[in-house]
Amino acid sequence: MKAASEIVRGAVGTRFTGAVLRVERGGCVVLEEAFGKVDGSSLAPAVEVTTCFDLASLTKPFAAAAALWAVGGGRLELDAPLLPLVPEWRGRPHAAITLRLLLAHTSGMQSGADYRVLLGDNVERFALEHDLSAPPKERVIYSDLGFIALGVILGRVYDESLASVMARTCAALGARSAAFRPRAAEIASIPATEEDAWRGRVRGSVHDEKAHLMNGVAGHAGLFGTARDVAVLTEVFLGASCGRAPATLSVRLAREAIVEHGSDSVLRRGLGWALKTTDENSCGSVMSRATFGHTGFTGTSVWADPVRDLSVVLLTNAVYFGRNDLRDVRAAVCEAVASEADRCLRSA
């Protein structure tokens, strides 16, 4: 995996200040390496493999796992209208929305909203009550608002806070470090993200503005965690596809989550997961079409290829240097890892 490591190392200082790369094959770690520092200052601590990053939208597959766990426990159904839990949708097109549609981004809910529109408003209420952008089932609209609504629904299902629901889910998964709102003692070791006019340099507080307005706890963003945490989550679904029964979710539900439920020219959608659609996706050209994963705006990503039984987690703080696309680095790393895995298989 030397080539993948060199790609990440070569991007330190220009694309991000620090990163962790973790590769698993067959459910076993074959590479875990840390690079760079937590910010660009000369005295900044080095990133370690145990460093927690702002996972950004990698929160979504964690929230999806919590929802699927509720399905497995009989608390939710994939295809029943969610109206009994969301009476705010009565008499509106929203009444047809099901959990499957929320998880597959086919609910018709709007993608998001500028945080300046939301200042002084209740973000959860905005997400639940805002007009749909399309009728349910019509098309894929990647939606932060849909996963904010999912967070509300999870809280109502269990009659407790979303933070509590997600803490229990992460503990069950074995994602020991994944959590909302890092403790004060942890903040100095968390890679800094963007310098913005509103909050200054963001470190240890969620980068996503909507999640920030929600006190750092939301279904679409807000979790901080390690590369191991992300790999543990991914293994639940990759392992089920490759014959390793997950302890926290039924094989049927885990497999169902990583097949297509929404068709889109950019990224097909599973249940909380994105699916490879073209070689232009950030998993690159080598991984198979069965590949599933997710990216996060701060510079985080995970891609898993069931054909190769291979997962690649890359956590960075790319927004430190601005809101630039990291697709080329992500793709190059995934291509290098998959190509090396293929060479090892041929020589075995």
Model pLDDT for residues 217-262, shown as the tens digit of each residue: 999 999 999 999 999 999 999 999 999 988 889 999 999 999 999 9
What pLDDT band is residue 37 in, cutting at 50, 70 and 90? very high
Q: What is the pLDDT of residue 26?
A: 96
- pTM of this prediction? 0.96
Q: What is the pLDDT of residue 169?
A: 96
Which CATH code fits 2-51+226-347? 3.40.710.10
Q: What is the pLDDT of residue 17?
A: 98
**Could you give the percent of the chain with pLDDT greater than 70?**
97
d(CA 165, CA 146): 18
Q: What is the pLDDT of residue 42?
A: 92
Average pLDDT for residues 147-152, to the nearest whole number?
98
d(CA 124, CA 144): 11
Strands 195-196 and 200-201: antiparallel
What tokens appear for 142 in the block? 């990647």
d(CA 278, CA 283): 9
Q: Phi then psi for 71, rounded to 5 degrees? A: -65, -45
Q: What is the pLDDT of residue 348?
A: 58
For the chain, domain boundaries: 2-51+226-347
d(CA 228, CA 172): 14
- Answer whether residue 320 shows pLDDT above 70: yes
Q: What is the mean pLDDT of the chain?
A: 95
Average pLDDT for residues 309-322, to the nearest whole number?
97
Q: What is the pLDDT of residue 120?
A: 60
d(CA 277, CA 21): 23
Between 115 and 102, the more confident residue is: 102
Write out pLDDT tens, residues 168-208: 999 999 999 999 999 999 999 999 999 888 888 999 999 99
**Could you give the percent of the chain with pLDDT greater than 90?**
90
Q: Which residue, among 69, 4, 47, has the nearest Cα to 233 in the 3D structure?
A: 69
* Side chain identity at residue 164, one-letter code: S
Q: How far apart are the first and last CA of the chain?
A: 16
Burial of 181 (0-12, 13-18, 19+ CB in 10 A): middle
Q: Enumerate long-range contacts of 197-201, CB under 8 Å, 24 or more apart.
A: 201/39
